[in-house]
Every structure is written in structure tokens, then in C-alpha cells.
Amino acid sequence: ELVKSYYPMPIALGTAITEKRKIRGGTPALLAELGFPPRTSVDRVSARVPTQEQYRALRLPSDLPVLRTLRVVFSDDERPVEATVMVKAGHLYELQYEFTAE
């Protein structure tokens, strides 16, 4: 899986988010410590033809599609605090969604 995450600069500046290292508890814990607790996530999933870079990095065996997920994480007041793009080999994954009526 290839993953790239993006954070608003006013939130990330001067924190471990800007460093190339693991964050204890992950970014959700750090965001919560900074006053931006993750409240809601929205995923948009699509199947696509891989780029040449994705084809090589994922070592795809042939012309298979990739699954691309764009996840946006929102904190209080529906403020976006993280956007993540995940790309994975489409033939290796199955998606499952569960919805609860309100």
C-alpha cells in the first residue's frame, strides 16, 4: 500500500507530524493532544488504472486496477485536520462497509 498524508500547516508546524519518524499512538493521538480530536472520517474509494510509479512500487503482476482511497478526517466544527491518499493493488483487497440507521 502506498500512503501519503497531508495536514494543515498551522496544525502540523513544530510538531512530530513534520518529522520523518513514527508517532507514539499515531497521528490521531497527536491531533487529539493538539486540541483537534478526530471526530468524523469520510472515505472516497475509486478503482483506477495505476500510474507507472504505482505499478512499479506495488509490483503489480499485470494491468490490474488499483484502489485509491481519499480519506478526509474532520475534528470539531467540521474542521478538516488530515487528508490521506491510499493506493493499493485492487486484486488483493475487498472493501466492506457497515451503516447504522439513525
The hierarchical CATH code for the domain 2-92 is: 3.40.1410.10
Domain ranges for the chain, please list them.
2-92
pLDDT at position 2, please? 96
Q: Which backbone phi and psi does 65 adopt, to 5 degrees? A: -75, 160
Tell me the mean pLDDT in the region 87-102.
85
Helix (H) or strand (E) holding 77, with range, is none
pLDDT tens digits along 39-49: 999 999 999 99
Please tell me the number of Cα atoms within 13 Å of 73 on its side-chain side: 18
